[in-house]
Amino acid sequence: MKRMHVTLDEEALEQARRLTGKKSYSETINHAIAQIVKQDRLRQAIDALAKDPNPWWPGYVEEMAPDVAEYLKKKEKPRRRTAASTVRAPRVKQAKLRGSR
């Protein structure tokens, strides 16, 4: 433990002590610091999972959530374009009227 002298807002410290249910100000401050460290570690873990395109090990999704696995399989299939395979009627060219003939 490191001993140091810090200046703190008394009202905020007392409110934090009541919210956390700690008995002393030192416990309250240590608890707050520990929570900040936990939040940062969790944020880093979430960012690491978000960067990985497939964060699950093979077979996990199929075993734990078969309905989600079916949805993902359907989603991966390429969609057929119906507009490209339809036959369009030829355009009718209209004569342009020039002036008053």
Closest CA to 25 of 17, 36, 35: 17
Among 44, 22, 48, which residue's Cα sits nearest to residue 33?
22
pLDDT reported for residue 63: 83
The per-residue DSSP string of 15-60 comes to HHHHHHT-SSHHHHHHHHHHHHHHHHHHHHHHHHHHHSS--SPTTH
- The radius of gyration computed from the CA coordinates of the chain, to the nearest angstrom, equals 33
The pLDDT profile of the chain, 101 residues, written as one tens digit per residue, is 888 898 999 999 999 999 999 999 999 999 999 999 999 999 998 888 878 777 777 787 788 888 887 887 776 666 666 565 566 666 776 666 666 65
- Placement of tokens 């520990």 in the chain: 34
> pTM score > 0.85 for this model?
no
